[in-house]
């Protein structure tokens, strides 16, 4: 016979029917207290950071709880657009500051925080600015952990896919109908002009010349380079086609079109893909633009654009790999920047 169990937890009466089931309602708190449910720690050591300043903003970036326009996101809804909380609505032009202070204010506790979503940003001497999103009220067993990273910060890489855009001409790579392209030159600029050295003072890309290569990519990792299949720099698509691959690193002083059979001393993995791309390593955190130009003597025409420009913005954070953090095809990492090219042709010839 079923039994009825009544539990009083955090002022809430939970009634559970059955002999094997129990209802557990976690206790919550509307107070944020340093050392109790919020901690600020060193990323590497895990030790608390004792002194810092903070600011807490209301997170009003919207939600995805309304799954269709009929849930309040249709212009036909009374009160629209206030009834729609989608991020794309862009109703709020700024994020209100809820409060700010230093470690002593958090140690005393921030009480009676209204239910909602927040972002805390923390700044401490000797650390990079960082933060954490959280939602109030908090379960009493939860902690908001803000990890701060001390220098030296890891360097970053820009990557760009370089490909022929012919099947069809659509501003996007379409494999295996299209090939990657090697031998194209990348030019990086920041707000002061052309970039010639990396964060260590060495020439960019090791030689000062950043070129696209036919990279052998296995399980998302670059493992080698191979030679193009023609003088236009087209990369092979079939991993069984090249006789082998040249290992990484140390390839930047080899002309992409100058690989010889004797340079190959490793087999190409059967599971690999071959991609044409430029990699520019050892960069610092910054906003860059990347321009890619075809080899001299060729007549490739660029088909891709970012907001109508030939160059492509790259907002680089420390440790960035150059792979897109949002665009994932079948779970395979893909460069955040793409440059497509089409050779001139006369499709009406002989018509």
* 105 and 142 both lie in a single domain: yes
Which CATH number does the domain housing residue 212 bear? 2.60.40.10
Residue 351 lies in a domain: no
Asked whether residue 94 is domain-assigned, the answer is yes
- Give the global pTM: 0.72
Instruction: Quick: pLDDT tens for 319-334.
Output: 999 998 776 555 668 8
Same domain, 127 and 190: no
Count of domains in the chain?
A: 3
Q: What is the pLDDT of residue 297?
A: 86
- At residue 86, the pLDDT reads 87
- Residue 348, in any domain of the structure: no
Per-residue pLDDT of 258-304, as tens digits, reads 665 556 778 999 999 999 999 999 999 999 999 999 998 888 999 99
Q: How confident is the model at residue 89 (pLDDT cuts 50, 70, 90)?
A: confident
Residue range of the domain that includes 101: 28-148
Question: CA-to-CA distance for 41 and 303, rounded, in angstroms?
Answer: 47
Check whether residue 167 and residue 305 sit in a common domain.
Answer: yes
Query: Does one domain contain both 85 and 185?
Result: no
- Work out the angle at residue 48's Cα, subtended by the Cα atoms of residues 46 and 52, and round it to the nearest 5 degrees: 130
Determine how β-strand 185-190 pairs with β-strand 210-218: antiparallel
* 43 lies in the same domain as 20: no
Looking at the fold, whether 172 and 82 belong to one and the same domain comes out as no
Torsional class of 108: left (φ above 0), alpha (ψ -120 to 50), beta (otherwise): alpha
Pair 328, 202 in one domain: yes
Q: Looking at the domain assignment, is residue 116 inside a domain?
A: yes
Q: What is the widest separation between alpha-carbon atoms in the chain? A: 89
Radius of gyration of the chain (CA): 27
221 bridge partner residues: 218
The verdict on residue 314 lying in a domain is yes
Q: Considering 122, 148, 174, which residue would you say is the last residue of a domain?
A: 148
Same structural domain, 22 and 33: no
Are 326 and 187 in a shared domain? yes
Do 23 and 36 share a domain, yes or no? no
Tell me, yes or no, whether 21 and 35 share the same domain.
no
Same domain, yes or no: 329 and 207: yes
Tokens of 90: 């862009």
Residues 103-141 have pLDDT tens digits of 999 999 999 999 999 999 999 999 999 999 999 999 988
Which residues, listed in sequence order, are joined to residue 210 by a DSSP beta bridge? Answer: 186
């Amino acid at each position: 016979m079923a039994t009825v169990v009544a539990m009083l937890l955090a002022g809430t009466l939970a009634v559970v029917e059955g002999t094997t089931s129990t209802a557990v309602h976690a206790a919550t708190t509307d107070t944020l207290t340093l050392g109790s449910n919020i901690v600020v720690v060193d990323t590497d050591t895990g030790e608390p950071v004792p002194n810092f300043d903070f600011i807490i903003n209301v997170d009003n970036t919207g939600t995805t709880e309304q799954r269709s326009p009929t849930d309040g996101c249709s212009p036909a809804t009374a009160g629209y657009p206030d009834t729609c909380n989608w991020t794309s609505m862009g109703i709020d032009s700024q994020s209100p500051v809820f409060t700010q202070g230093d470690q002593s204010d958090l140690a005393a506790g921030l009480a009676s925080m209204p239910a909602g979503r927040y972002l805390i940003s923390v700044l401490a001497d000797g650390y990079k600015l960082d933060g954490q999103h959280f939602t109030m009220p908090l379960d009493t067993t939860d902690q908001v952990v803000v990890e701060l990273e001390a220098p030296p910060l890891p360097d970053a890489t820009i990557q760009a896919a370089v490909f022929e855009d012919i099947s069809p001409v659509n501003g996007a790579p379409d494999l295996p109908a299209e090939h990657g392209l090697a031998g194209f030159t990348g030019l990086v600029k920041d707000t002061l002009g052309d970039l010639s050295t990396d964060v260590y003072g060495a020439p960019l890309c090791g030689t000062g010349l950043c070129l696209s290569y036919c990279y052998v990519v296995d399980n998302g990792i670059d493992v080698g380079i191979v030679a193009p299949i023609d003088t236009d720099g087209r990369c092979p698509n079939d991993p069984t086609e090249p006789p082998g691959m040249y290992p990484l690193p140390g390839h930047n002083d080899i002309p992409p079109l100058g690989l010889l059979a004797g340079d190959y001393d490793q087999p190409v993995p059967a599971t690999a893909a071959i991609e044409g791309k430029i990699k520019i390593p050892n960069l610092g955190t910054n906003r860059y633009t990347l321009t890619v130009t075809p080899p001299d003597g060729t007549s490739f025409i660029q088909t891709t654009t970012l907001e109508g420009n030939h160059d492509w913005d790259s907002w680089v954070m420390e440790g960035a790999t150059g792979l897109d953090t949002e665009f994932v095809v079948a779970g395979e990492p893909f460069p955040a920047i793409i440059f497509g090219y089409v050779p001139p042709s006369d499709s009406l010839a002989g018509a």
